Structure 1
Amino acid sequence: MNVRISKFILPSLFVLAISTQANAQSRRDTSTKKTTTVTKRTVTTNSNNRTSTTKRVPRSTVTYKKSSRKVVAVRNVPNKRTVSFRGNNYYYANNRYYTYSRGLYIAIAPKVGFRINILPANHRRIRFNNNNYYYTEGVFYIQSNNAYEVVDPEIGTIVYELPDEVEKVVIDGQTYYEYANILYEKVQVDGMRAYEIVGIIEMN
């Protein structure tokens, strides 16, 4: 009698134990907090063979603190200069670039690859990882032959001013600042407030 009971009960207990362990593992997997995946990429540009490592952050993981984005739009831009890039016209005046839409000039940041012959008057030179950058109003340039090209900055670059249109964003509970898809974190450098570049938001 004892032999018959053992043959029936022991396999049943084994199956029950396996099932309980699988359910517990499933609960642990479900309760695990999801974190943002930050992908490091080494990018070589066509300009002076500049090589830099960037951290790409998926746009889906970025939450803007305000539902509406800051937009600067005016009806007139005095003394503007027209700059064409890939079939689109930019209008430059007062250290800003604008696009024209529905009767308004809307301030925008030029895209990566955009080139100009003369730097904006209020630019600042930044030396980082043996590369010279020229920074103004949230836009980074490097010299390329006889022109200046807009580029993505390197992670770790420090700036001391951000544009007025900068937005506060939250990623995994941490607050950052965003402008032109560049993410900044507020830091202290020699007792001064500064902003360190910590990532680039993916366009798609």
Structure 2
Amino acid sequence: MKSLFKKSMLPLVLVIAVSTSYSQTRRSTINENSRTSTSTRISSSRVTYKKEKTKVESVRTIPNRTVLKHNGQSYYYDNNKYYTLSRGRYIVIAPKVGFKIKVLPTNHKRISHRGFNYYYANGIFYVHLNNEYEVVDPEVGTIVSELPSGYEKVVIDGLTYYEYANILYEKIQVNGTRAYEVVGIIDIAS
């Protein structure tokens, strides 16, 4: 009986030890006094997109658009999406970090991570500051229940992730339900 117990427990202990050490190497550490995390930036040169071409969502007109400006760029907002005008067509884009709005998209969800509140809509993370909502990069470890349409599968160091607006997600299970955890930000400057 002891021999059977040892034979069955040894592989289990090894699996737990290996998976624990593996997960610790993939996660960054976060200082409890700060919202910034380390090792979240990933060079774009390390990222390989599974599809060579991406489908660009565009429309010819936006009937009820609102024009918003940020750092000299015009954003057109309608139906919970942001657009930019290019060659006579409106192309769906994600607003840049620092972009501010007065009212959140109607389909937003509130997400708490380490005592900090984000507002999440269509793959964009906002924080509430001075009666406005500002687009921010989320902290590593933040979990969302779904990805927006337009996400892409990417490979980094042989591992598959999901990317939208330069934010990298890993598919996980939370209480038996599929979810996505932020694991990094693609640094397009590198």
TM-score for both structures, normalised by structure 2: 0.81
Q: Is the 8 A contact 1:41 1:56 kept in 2?
A: no
Q: Distance in 2 between the 1:70 and 1:189 partners? A: 30
Q: Does 2:72 align with 1:87?
A: yes
Q: Does 2:46 align with 1:61?
A: yes
Q: Is the 8 A contact 2:35 2:139 kept in 1?
A: no
Q: Does 2:112 align with 1:112?
A: no
Match of 1:153 among 130, 133, 138: 138
Counterpart residue type for residue 88 of structure 2: G
Q: Is the 8 A contact 2:152 2:164 kept in 1?
A: yes
SS at match of 1:60: helix
Counterpart residue type for residue 72 of structure 2: G
Q: Is the 8 A contact 1:70 1:167 kept in 2?
A: no
Q: Is the 8 A contact 1:42 1:52 kept in 2?
A: yes
Q: Is the 8 A contact 2:29 2:37 kept in 1?
A: yes
Partner of 1:184: 169
Q: Distance in 1 between the 2:34 and 2:116 partners? A: 7
Structure 2: tracts of 5 or more residues without a match: 1-25
Q: Distance in 2 between the 1:134 and 1:189 partners? A: 20
Structure 1: tracts of 5 or more residues without a match: 1-37, 44-48
Give the paired residue count: 162
After superposing on structure 2, the runs of 4+ consecutive aligned residues of structure 1 that deviate more than 6 Å are: 40-43
SS at match of 1:70: coil
SS at match of 2:45: helix
Match of 1:103 among 88, 92, 103: 88
Structural RMSD (CA): 2.1
Q: Does 2:36 align with 1:52?
A: yes
Q: Percent identity?
A: 60
TM-score for both structures, normalised by structure 1: 0.75
